[in-house]
Structure 1
């Protein structure tokens, strides 16, 4: 590793820095998802629009962020593979903070008409580009620091803690403001939702300061010393590894789609069944909290049994559980709904813990930021961005009659990822160079 010995303390510092940054990014990203589902349909649309039409259009602005993510992966992958991991990670957090802060200031339809929705969409694109640069950089930075460790998947799973913690944070914030009376200034539909976005923008500034204090990846410094830095890494990696990028994207599509169905659409579905929105958000919050520990366990498991087998086990369970999951939601009892959410988290976040090491081990250092980022975000428009819209359209407002569509989309995505994992090779024990 360039002649430098990396201590466990140094790895921990980078692990904390990357997980804090990803937590902030995912908080902002998830917050928009909740707002698009619960707040924007009432705020940014004329009163004569039907609720389902407003919801579908609002979710479409949410999906735009997923389309922007591969673009962010290309832009920041290029920066990160040419100028350094830290440089790319600083600028993507800046972009995310700007997009999130703007959303918090938008007026309702009565003031700006559809202008507010248009600005929200542009801000969502900025968020998507920011997230597109975050994951590949954080994964690359941390796994390169832990390159010599036999617990590489465990350390890589720290990056993934940003997702359950970010989700926990976002759902908890909206749950908090939902508890205020509707006529209170802190009520969710008054200033509550705005404060949630402003907090995200402030947190981004804090994240930037923390990352400025961290050191560059030693593996990247080694290729600088050897003069091996690629001139156009995000283009070259696609030309050399396009089939691997597509297979890796497909291998985690189930997690990407499943996570947003479980964490965002399930709240809408439960509300359609007459269940309390605040309790639905609480079920997501608590299951996300448990998901933090599931992520740790699966990171360790992947270092023991291999990356592919750990992911295959999680997705196979998810495939079997798809229909029982939705049926448990029909219980309309909090305990059964929480059980359903926790079991789905086992399938979704269990697999998620593994992919930082699995993806990073599939690319050489000179292309790693670009390769991991593209592999991760190529799935986003077709999985996490599209799945909630497909389900919302198929189910419509007939939640009791069309529930099977919710379960079926879950099952289809799990099947796609299982096929891709069967084709891909195991990388456990592979030397990172």
Structure 2
């Protein structure tokens, strides 16, 4: 049975399913992030104007991140115990349905206090779904790899979903931000959310066509032969591999917090503090996302040639210095200078992001791999991803006209990942958490 899964079209199908599924999940997540930066402060928190409205909108954005570790724990357990495929089908359905419901949500003007309350509730469910999605998509792609040495390359197809989702979300918002303010605030912002229903159907059909992970099937077979029942995966991760988990959390910071810095916070920064039109920054991010889409598989290929650790160390090191060039160019205010500025930061950060998933997943043994990488990624998202736009907004408000504190924040994010990834490399892949 396991042999069948590694032959024929399954590796390609699994990679396609990972790509399409994560593209839909990240599309849903990014349209929320973009709406939070552009419109949610005005229609869900109208009494909190300007800075405080943006802060409140980004607060709901952060809530989704705090829900993600719960999703990682729930769906990591399902993925490690029942099956990767079942877990992924549920997360996709949850994410798509919730996103459509956000698009149908009445505003503060219609139902008052209940509007932001319902927004937060839906955002929590959305966070739980994303919490379970990413780890499963990475594993379904990498564990179907016909060659052990190509796992990181196959895993990069799940990472490819992130820029693809961003490109799609930017194109949708580009369509609706062309409307006048009244139309955009009343119904225009809802269109990208409702469009998610179409994507959901496509993703669901593709995901059902993929067989279960061969690694999972082998592990289940091995577990049935053991006299002692396996422990709960989350408990095994927390008690058997706490250092590994913490290093994996740190290693993911640049890929998560860095992107919400450039793709979410920079929208608010450029429109509110540099005085740019929202269309200019969205055009810039669209170009940069297309660049990231192409550098993702290229980065994974280069890393497979020179070594994952060497590649990750280099890109994290260079990322410490890129924000200084980015802010210098962004403050000039022209579309080419902003695009080049953000592009420099995303080039190295995107290259790092492409490779980190496969690298971290190889550190965890099969029995706890879904839970391990999901918890690492989602804890990193909860602590660093959700708070980065909030912290950036506070720094921008308190240091008006000065960008160096923001650049320093980005450098610290890069340094944290550099140190973590080097320590992970020194520790090596230790399979000491397997049940006896």
Which residue does 1:321 correspond to in 2? 322
Which residue does 1:218 correspond to in 2? 214
Deviation track 1:44-63 (CA, whole Å, cap 9, x = no partner) reads: 123x4331111101101100
Which residue does 1:271 correspond to in 2? 271
Which residue does 1:188 correspond to in 2? 184
The CA deviation at 1:222 is 1.3
Structure 2 residue runs of 5 or longer lacking an equivalent are: none
Q: Mapping of 1:367-386 within 5 angstroms?
A: 367-386=368-387
Q: Mapping of 1:122-141 within 5 angstroms?
A: 122-141=121-140
Deviation track 1:124-177 (CA, whole Å, cap 9, x = no partner) reads: 111111111011111111111116243222111111011001111111111111
- Checking the alignment, whether the CA contact within 8 Å between 2:7 and 2:146 is kept in structure 1 is no
Are residues 147 and 232 of structure 1, via their aligned partners in 2, closer, same or farther at CA, if it must alter by over 3 Å?
farther
Are residues 398 and 173 of structure 1, via their aligned partners in 2, closer, same or farther at CA, if it must alter by over 3 Å?
farther
Name the TM-score, length of structure 1 as normaliser.
Answer: 0.94
Deviation track 1:157-206 (CA, whole Å, cap 9, x = no partner) reads: 111011001111111111111112345xxx42232211110111332233
Q: Mapping of 1:32-431 within 5 angstroms?
A: 32-46=32-46, 48-146=47-145, 148-182=147-181, 187-228=183-224, 230-272=230-272, 273-396=274-397, 399-400=400-401, 402-425=402-425
**CA distance in 2 between partners of 1:175 and 1:168 (Å):** 10
- Checking the alignment, whether the CA contact within 8 Å between 1:248 and 1:376 is kept in structure 2 is yes
- Checking the alignment, whether the CA contact within 8 Å between 1:152 and 1:303 is kept in structure 2 is no
**CA distance in 1 between partners of 2:381 and 2:360 (Å):** 15
- Off by >4 Å, runs of 4+ in structure 1: 1-5, 426-431
**CA distance in 2 between partners of 1:150 and 1:398 (Å):** 47
- Checking the alignment, whether the CA contact within 8 Å between 1:362 and 1:427 is kept in structure 2 is no
- Checking the alignment, whether the CA contact within 8 Å between 2:233 and 2:368 is kept in structure 1 is yes
Greater fraction helix: 2
**CA distance in 1 between partners of 2:6 and 2:25 (Å):** 27
Structure 1 residue runs of 5 or longer lacking an equivalent are: none
Name the TM-score, length of structure 2 as normaliser.
Answer: 0.93
The CA deviation at 1:208 is 1.7
Between 94-103 and 15-24, the greater mean CA deviation after superposition:
94-103
- Checking the alignment, whether the CA contact within 8 Å between 1:307 and 1:427 is kept in structure 2 is no
The CA deviation at 1:405 is 2.1
**CA distance in 2 between partners of 1:365 and 1:288 (Å):** 33
**CA distance in 1 between partners of 2:258 and 2:429 (Å):** 29
Aligned pairs, how many? 427
- Checking the alignment, whether the CA contact within 8 Å between 1:56 and 1:392 is kept in structure 2 is yes
- Checking the alignment, whether the CA contact within 8 Å between 1:52 and 1:397 is kept in structure 2 is no
Secondary structure, counterpart of 1:31 in structure 2: helix
- Checking the alignment, whether the CA contact within 8 Å between 1:308 and 1:426 is kept in structure 2 is no
Are residues 429 and 293 of structure 1, via their aligned partners in 2, closer, same or farther at CA, if it must alter by over 3 Å?
farther
Are residues 106 and 2 of structure 1, via their aligned partners in 2, closer, same or farther at CA, if it must alter by over 3 Å?
closer
